[in-house]
Amino acid sequence: MDAIKQILLDEIATLNREERRDKRPRFSFSFLKTHPGLWAIMYLCYTLCVALIFTTEMLGWPAF
């Protein structure tokens, strides 16, 4: 099992190196231009989740 895990980790590292990926989030304007509806729905769902979290007693401001 460790051999398979090591092979997968090596393959992921190779892909990340070839595609010049780092672990930083990026804002893509091209995504916004090509999928404006999807972006709007994602943003709406994010705000609804934040509103839900901060209006409940268990997850609200005291936990934050």
Query: In this predicted model, what pLDDT tens digit does every residue of 10-61 receive, in sequence order?
Result: 999 999 999 888 888 777 788 889 999 999 999 999 999 988 888 887 776 6
Residue pointed to by tokens 């729905």: 41
pTM of the model: 0.49
Closest CA to 56 of 43, 4, 64: 64
Judge whether residue 64 has pLDDT over 70.
no
Judge whether residue 62 has pLDDT over 70.
no
* One-letter amino acid for residue 12 of the chain: I
C-alpha 60/C-alpha 57 separation (Å) is 5
C-alpha 56/C-alpha 20 separation (Å) is 41
Boundaries of every domain in the chain: 2-55
The pLDDT confidence band at residue 7, using thresholds 50, 70 and 90, is very high
Judge whether residue 9 has pLDDT over 90.
yes
